[in-house]
Structure 1
Amino acid sequence: MIGLGTLINTVAIIFGGLIGNFTGKLFKEDQQHAITKACGISVLFIAIAGAMQGMMAIDGKNLVSGKSMLVVLCIVFGTIIGELIGIENGFERFGEWLKVKSGNSGDKEFVNAFVTASLTVCIGAMAIVGAIQDGILGDYSTLAVKSVLDFIVVAVMTSSLGKGSAFSAIPIFLFEGSITLLAKLISPIMTDMAIAYLSLIGSILIFCVGVNLVWGKTVRVANMLPGLIFAVVAVYIPGGII
């Protein structure tokens, strides 16, 4: 069944949110803050590992780095576009709307939890590659694996940040569902190199999510999302980007 992977991922996030909401009530406020920091540190190291995998290579007996220009151009130009469009503000307005409609008007952390969790589960190559596989082959295995990871992440985030994290099920359903429907159009573009570039830039954006979890909101990560598009476009620039 085409689209089953998206449904599994969405349901996993919802259940993760329900469990996180229940377990979160068992912790005191200072303990919830500690869990948030721990989650942020975990996200940082996962992101560092992904970024280093994309930038580091073994040349003979030497460990060399590359793709610095790719990172700089994608992040900088992506942020410029995102700031001009106001993607972060759009996320926050949608979060405010959800907060009111879901009866959580009194939850001061709802919007922050929603935006943080949404970016964490949506950014990354697994979501795109898995949705394409689901749309073309009906193979939902990649999204099934991602669902397990997202279940854990959202459960932890909900227990520490609040109910808003569970509502990340909405953007993941729309994001992965749209890619699944458009899979046959997107598939030729997503070469192995495009996926590698996408994974690299995605890891850096996830690192920024971790920064916000540990030190408070200091980076407007949503405004950096166009960098993912630049990462794919970079593959088709004559001469390439180092």
Structure 2
Amino acid sequence: MIIGPYINGSAVLIGGIAGALLSSKLPERIRNSMPLIFGAASMCMGIILVNKVVHMPVMVLSVILGALLGELVYLEKGIGKLGAKARGLVEMFVRSEPGSAESQEQFLQSYVAIIVLFCASGTGIFGSMHEGMTGDSSILIAKSFLDLFTAAIFATTLGFAVGIVAIPQLIIQLLLAYGAIFILPMTTPEMQADFSAVGGVLMFATGFRICGIKVFPVANMLPALLLAMPISSLWSSIF
């Protein structure tokens, strides 16, 4: 029985609602310091996944080609527009207090970051596929703890729109989990390791973005996840 995606989605939803409701009561120092911790945690998780790489050239090539493809189709810009629409939808029902909302540009930057963190992390994608094949939900449950508090912190400034991210996250993870039975039999352990390593690179870049160190175009790098396994298979067959 698939339960991980539901637990992970519930964590984001609950965290988003709780953070939005408690935003006025949460000390400013916690709002400022905790995203740094979450960013550091994301980078550490990324490092662990990158260490699983089998073919380093596959990881590098996948990230480069994936980022190039994302830039060509303006993927991050499209996600940002969807985020803006989601915010407008929420604000139709939830009135923000004066001065509580971030500027449009700041909102889009932060919203894109959490969409990638929650929906497109290597841990979430790999964990969904892993559970679909083995029934082990431990990876997604571990991710849920991080997502719960991350969603709460971001919701103190972004509002209830953070909870909406739970919907695409749940859909993506369920599709991956139930589709894994068709995908994983065609893969090898090396392909899975290279795939996880590419996801680790994205998580590392996301950590930098959350910490405010460098705004990597993480959403534009998402196609790298689609390219990782095919390139890994091709590399293994040639070399």
TM-score by structure 2 length? 0.80
Give the distance between the partners of 1:25 and 1:240, measured in 2 at CA.
57
Match of 2:46 in 1: 47
Match of 1:180 in 2: 177
Query: Matched residue of 2:234: which SS?
Result: coil
Match of 1:72 in 2: 60
Match of 2:190 in 1: 193
Report the CA distance shift for 1:217/1:96 in structure 2 as closer, same or farther (over 3 A): farther
Match of 1:214 in 2: 211
Match of 1:114 in 2: 111
> How many residues matched?
230
**CA offset at residue 137 of structure 1?**
6.1
Q: Which of 186, 200, 204 is 2:201 aligned to? A: 204
Give the distance between the partners of 2:45 and 2:138, measured in 1 at CA.
21
CA-to-partner distance for each residue in 1:23-56, whole Å, 9 max, x for gaps?
Answer: 43224556523333333233223323432x225x
Superposition pairs of residues 57-68 of structure 1, within 5 angstroms: 67-68=55-56
CA-to-partner distance for each residue in 1:137-191, whole Å, 9 max, x for gaps?
Answer: 6654543343233223323333465544333212211211222342332222343
Paired letter, 1:215: G
Superposition pairs of residues 113-152 of structure 1, within 5 angstroms: 113-135=110-132, 140-152=137-149
CA-to-partner distance for each residue in 1:89-127, whole Å, 9 max, x for gaps?
Answer: 121111111011111686334433332122112334443
**CA offset at residue 212 of structure 1?**
1.3
Give the distance between the partners of 1:146 and 1:191, measured in 2 at CA.
24
TM-score by structure 1 length? 0.79
Match of 2:229 in 1: 232
Q: Which of 71, 82, 98 is 2:70 aligned to? A: 82
Match of 1:6 in 2: 5
Instruction: Give the RMSD, CA atoms, in angstroms.
Output: 2.9
Query: Matched residue of 1:26: which SS?
Result: coil
Give the distance between the partners of 1:39 and 1:98, measured in 2 at CA.
24
**CA offset at residue 73 of structure 1?**
0.9
Paired letter, 1:97: K
Match of 2:33 in 1: 34
Give the distance between the partners of 2:28 and 2:52, measured in 1 at CA.
38
Query: Matched residue of 1:209: which SS?
Result: helix
Q: Which moved more, 1:163-172 or 1:93-102?
A: 163-172
Gaps of 5+ in 2: none
State, as a whole percentage, how many aligned pairs show the same letter: 26
Asked if structure 2 preserves the Cα contact closer than 8 Å seen for 1:36 and 1:160, the reply is no
Give the distance between the partners of 2:188 and 2:38, measured in 1 at CA.
32
Give the distance between the partners of 1:209 and 1:76, measured in 2 at CA.
16
**CA offset at residue 81 of structure 1?**
0.7
Give the distance between the partners of 2:221 and 2:95, measured in 1 at CA.
28
Report the CA distance shift for 1:40/1:24 in structure 2 as closer, same or farther (over 3 A): farther
**CA offset at residue 241 of structure 1?**
8.4
Gaps of 5+ in 1: 56-65
Asked if structure 2 preserves the Cα contact closer than 8 Å seen for 1:9 and 1:144, the reply is yes
